[in-house]
Amino acid sequence: MATPNAVIVPSAREAEPGEQESAPPPRKQGRPRKPRAVIGPTERRRQRIGWLFVAPFAVVFVTFLIVPLFYAFWMSLQTSTLAMGTSFTWFDNYAKAFTDPIFLDGLLRVGQFALVMIPLQMLVALIAALVLDSLTTWASKFSRLMIFLPYAIPVVIGALMWGFLYSPRFGPASDLFELFGLAAPDFLAQSAIFGSLVNIVTWQWAGYYMIIIYAALQGIDRSIYEAARIDGVTSLQMALRIKVPMISSSMVMVLIFAMIGTLQFFTEPQVLRGIAQGAIPVSYTPNMYAYSLAFSYSQFNYASAISFALGVVVFIGSYFFLFLTRKQSGLK
């Protein structure tokens, strides 16, 4: 008999013979919710101050890059004629650009420049970086500065300087050949202008690429070199089998920079065009062709389409190159 203070708990029903006990429903395991960060007035004030620092750059960036970019794309979708005025033709200008033999000839020419300039620039930059990385004296800093110095010179000034050096009339190259009784070659002739431009661009940009490769070499753990020397590895083997493979991602980045810069080839041939006396036509590269269409023939709509078509070529080429070298560049 139960006491008055006792609590009677009903017992669970026993399962009948042959009856299976039902399992409790499984618990839903969802993603644990992250606690929301409570932003106080001090943090809000700091965020506003940060936006104030970013605002000047953002205004300049949007005003002088984003807005003109969208306006140029808007113009590329139109066609202007004296009789019909301005009308939307959508992508007709792009179709015209990719069937324009002058534009395609310029693309082929910059492709030829890429096949010569990019390997040459990479070879010069890599050799210079490897040599500087092996030096530990004051000569390393001085040599690094001298190799990088051409990149610090404005491109227009550098092209004018080389145009003076190339000139067969008053350049020092002609005087040097005459000193040995030889006929001075015309470096600005149509048959030699290709090599002259390759030399200018390589001189201008190899130092910049050297700095990128040199910085990657400086990031390698020096204990790897010490272990390689203990194993009897020579300096040449260390450079080719240890250093170069370990900076493959930086090499890929430099290759992409060089490819984009070559496809946008403009300043050097444009400056030398007034000195080379007909060796460089106005449509020598796609950028020069678009420039002449816009500012010499007032075909701003078609020039905008050519510029964006070149941008499409650069984007596709860069993406395809990254896809082929995704293992070396560390991308998946």
Q: What is the mean pLDDT of the chain?
A: 84
Give yes or no for a contact between 169 and 187, defined as CB atoms under 8 angstroms apart: no
**In the predicted structure, residue 286 carries a pLDDT above the cut 70:** yes
pLDDT for position 26: 56
- Are 140 and 129 in contact by the 8 Å Cβ rule? The answer is no
pLDDT digits (tens, 9 = 90+) for 135-188: 877 778 888 889 999 999 999 999 999 999 988 877 788 888 888 888 778 888
Burial status of residue 198 (CB atoms within 10 A of its CB: 0-12, 13-18, 19 or more): middle
| Architecture of the domain made up of 93-329 | Orthogonal Bundle (1.10)
Residues 6+ apart with CB under 8 A from 297: none
pLDDT reported for residue 110: 94
Q: What is the pLDDT of residue 7?
A: 43
Higher pLDDT, 81 or 53: 53
pLDDT (tens digit, 9 = 90+) per residue, 287-299?
999 999 999 988 9
Q: Which residues pair with 81 in a beta bridge?
A: 85
d(CA 47, CA 50): 5
Residue 9's pLDDT is 44
Give pLDDT, residue 183.
79
**Cα-based angle 251, 253, 258 (whole degrees, multiple of 5):** 95
Q: CB neighbours (10 Å) of residue 122?
A: 18
Within 8 A by CB and 6+ apart from 114, the residues are: 258, 259, 262, 263
Among 24-33, 76-85, 172-181, 307-316, the range with the most confident prediction by mean pLDDT is 307-316
Per residue in 21-75, pLDDT (tens digit) is 555 555 555 565 655 655 667 777 788 888 888 899 999 999 999 999 899 999 9
Q: How much is the pLDDT for 331?
A: 52
How do residues 94-110 score in pLDDT, each as one tens digit?
999 999 999 999 999 99
**pLDDT of the residue at 95:** 92
Domain positions in the chain: 41-76, 93-329
When pLDDT is averaged across residues 198-216 and rounded to a whole number, the result is: 95
Which is more confident, 231 or 17?
231
Residue 4 or residue 86, greater confidence: 86
What are 86's strand-pairing partners? 80
Calpha distance 159→270 (Å, rounded): 9
Q: What is the pLDDT of residue 167?
A: 85
Assigned token pair, 24: 């409790």
Residue 191 has pLDDT above 60, yes or no: yes
pLDDT of 316: 87
